[in-house]
């Protein structure tokens, strides 16, 4: 990582083909894909619900879902909701769930640097109820994701201007 006390570096010490961040960006290359994964983190899994929530065109959503299914981040689960037609829900795989800390880190960064510290979610330790935040910790010192819970603190009525 860069250190402001060091002289400028002429080239990256890691080629793109060997850089985990660059390879991950190849799998999750754009805003729509991140927003789709965010929806799934919140538990939204049906095509129409994802489309409505993020305002994505159907053709774009279809393409992005196919891509993240192919990349192993999401799996399709068949369901029927009263009709004879089989539909599919999209659910994060283990590989996809391992992106949750990345999504939470982006949220935390956005809350701090764009929203002036105001967050729409409160992250807490399920066991103690204490607030948690995403950060770099020593190996083995991290709080397991299964112990982290979130609850919305953003009030939709307030945002809509209704009481």
β-bridge mates for residue 151, sequence order: 122
pLDDT score at 5: 59
State mean pLDDT over 59-88: 94
- Give residue-wise pLDDT tens across range 19-28: 999 999 999 9
pLDDT category at 159 given cuts 50, 70, 90 is low
State mean pLDDT over 125-138: 87
pLDDT score at 65: 98
pLDDT score at 142: 77
pLDDT score at 148: 80
105 has pLDDT over 80: yes
- Give residue-wise pLDDT tens across range 41-62: 999 999 999 999 999 999 999 9
78 has pLDDT over 90: yes
- Give residue-wise pLDDT tens across range 82-102: 877 899 999 999 999 999 999
Q: How far apart, in Å, are the Cα atoms of 132 and each of 6, 37, 154?
A: 33, 21, 18
Q: Domains in the chain and their CATH numbers? A: 16-97 (1.10.10.10), 100-160 (no CATH)
Q: How would DSSP label each residue in 68-128?
A: HHHTTSEEEEEE-SSSSS-EEEEEE-HHHHTTHHHHHHHHHHHHHHTSTT--SEEEEETTT
Task: Tell which residue, 55, 2, 39, 34, has the closest CA to residue 106.
Answer: 34
CA-CA-CA-CA torsion for 50, 65, 27, 72, nearest 10 degrees?
110
3-state SS class at 151: strand
- The pTM assigned to this predicted structure is 0.80
């Amino acid at each position: 990582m860069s250190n402001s006390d060091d002289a400028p570096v002429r080239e990256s010490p890691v080629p793109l083909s060997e850089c985990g961040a660059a390879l991950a960006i190849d799998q999750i290359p754009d805003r729509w894909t991140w927003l789709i994964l965010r929806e799934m983190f919140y538990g939204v899994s049906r095509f129409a619900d994802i489309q409505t929530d993020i305002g994505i065109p159907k053709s774009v959503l279809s393409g992005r879902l196919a891509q993240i299914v192919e990349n192993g981040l999401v799996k399709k689960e068949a369901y029927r909701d009263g009709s004879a037609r089989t539909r599919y829900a999209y659910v994060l795989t283990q590989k996809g769930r391992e992106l949750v800390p990345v999504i939470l880190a982006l949220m935390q960064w956005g809350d701090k640097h764009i929203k002036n510290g105001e967050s729409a979610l409160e992250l807490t330790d399920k066991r103690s109820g204490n607030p948690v935040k995403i950060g770099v910790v020593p190996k083995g010192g991290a709080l397991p994701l299964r112990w982290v819970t979130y609850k919305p603190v953003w009030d939709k009525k307030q945002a809509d201007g209704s009481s």
